[in-house]
A = this chain, B = another copy of it.
Amino acid sequence: MPKISPDQLDARRREILDAARVCFARHGYEGATVRRLEGETGLSRGAIFHHFRDKESLFLAVAEDDAAEMAVTVARNGLVQVMRDLLARAADPAAPDTAGWLGTQLEVSRRLRTDPDFAAAWAQRAEAVGTATRERLSRQRDAAVLREDVPLGVLAQFLELAYDGLVLHLAMGRPADALDEVLDLVEEAVRRPAG
């Protein structure tokens, strides 16, 4: 029998993560039973938990995966662009798994509130996005794009507040139509005034 290569293992792990994300988002953490995870991934529990110790680890891996991807995008394009992308995907019914991704974010927020162990495990991972946001703002300030009368940390928190608001708004299925202009306002609020 041929050995499974690291690449194949990686691909399998990714398949499980993507299916699990959908399942957690649709049913919540408690509602995402092992049976449902089997159904969504098309794999047996044995196969799933060969890759992840337990449901808790699987959920944390999904959430970490999302946070890591977001930190990369923030570092490259900034948090406002992340929000614009999110909005574009939410408005596009053909876009994959936006609802799943949003659902995971809300499920993380719920578990942070109700589960102190999860909150402790999460705290250090979540820091990556905050760091990426501040570093990018710092480069923008150097490029004289940013307003200078407000501390950088306050601007970063303002953007994060808008981001959290967008997540909650979209995850509740509220209409996204006027939000492009709202994001223009958000962007303008952190920029150096024109002229």
Residues of A within 8 A of B (CB): 26-28, 30-31, 103, 106, 109-110, 112-114, 119, 150-151, 153-155, 157-158, 160-169, 171-173, 178-179, 181-182, 185-186, 188-190
Nearest opposing residue in chain B for A166, CB measure: B161
Q: Shortest beta-carbon distance, A86 to chain B, in Å? A: 12
- Contact among B103, B164, B181 for A168, CB-based, below 8 A: B164
Q: Which of B26, B150, B169, B185 contacts A150 (CB 8 A)?
A: B185
Chain A binding surface SS class:
helix
Is B161 within 8 A of A169, CB to CB? yes
Residues of chain B contacted by A178 (CB below 8 angstroms): 153-154, 157
Interface residue from B162, B168, B186 paired with A109 (Cβ < 8 Å) = B168
Question: Which residues of chain B are within 8 angstroms of A173 by Cβ–Cβ distance?
Answer: 112-113, 119
